[in-house]
Amino acid sequence: MSDETTNGAAAPAEATGPAFTVEKIYVKDVSFEVPGAPAIYSENVQPELQLNLNQSVQRLNENAFEVVLAVTLTCKAGDKTAYVAEVKQAGVFGIAGLDPQTVDGLLGTQCPNILFPYIRQLLSDLIQAGGFPPFFLQPINFDGLYAETLRQRAAQADGGELANAETAGNA
């Protein structure tokens, strides 16, 4: 008999070929501040929003990576800060059997795309719980951001090669 079973369950199959898995999704850090409360709620000015987005990747082991998507949203009412919301949404992703370029692409595009709906919902909930109108974080083109990152890396590499060539020519 070729299929082994344990307590009636099929034995796990050997991992073969490329694999991309979501191991865990979690909130790594959350902060919400309303420094001018309660006076800020009576301000009658058009709010100004500033959004900062950041992503970091940490290799946990040969086939596991932690990706952290961080958003800081600052809302100003005139010269006063109405609120500051900071959210770090994280995930652990398993990636095996892929070349480094493909792994880099997954970490730069697919992983943040998976985390984005969680961070959008948490940010919206925080702002409403803080007594402010709903905020809807618009979709982000992570493929475009990743493409820009690749362009910047290529420009830095070309600049480094040019600097090395100039240095070698002057030696």
The predicted structure's pLDDT at residue 14: 53
pLDDT of residue 2 exceeding 90: no
* pLDDT digits 0-9 by tens, 30-86: 999 999 899 999 888 889 999 999 999 999 999 999 999 999 999 999 889 999 999
Q: How confident is the model at residue 166 (pLDDT cuts 50, 70, 90)?
A: very low
Q: Which residues contact 8 (CB under 8 A, 6 or more apart)?
A: none
Please state the rounded mean pLDDT for residues 138-151: 94
Per-residue tokens: 85: 């919301």
pLDDT of residue 169 exceeding 70: no
pLDDT of residue 128 exceeding 50: yes
pLDDT of residue 161 exceeding 90: no
Q: How confident is the model at residue 7 (pLDDT cuts 50, 70, 90)?
A: low
pLDDT of residue 140 exceeding 80: yes
Residue 105 to residue 117: CA distance in whole angstroms: 19
pLDDT of residue 149 exceeding 60: yes
Query: Average pLDDT of the chain?
Result: 87
Predicted structure pTM score: 0.80
Q: What residue ranges define each of the domains in the chain, with the CATH number in brackets?
A: 17-133 (3.10.420.10)
pLDDT of residue 138 exceeding 60: yes
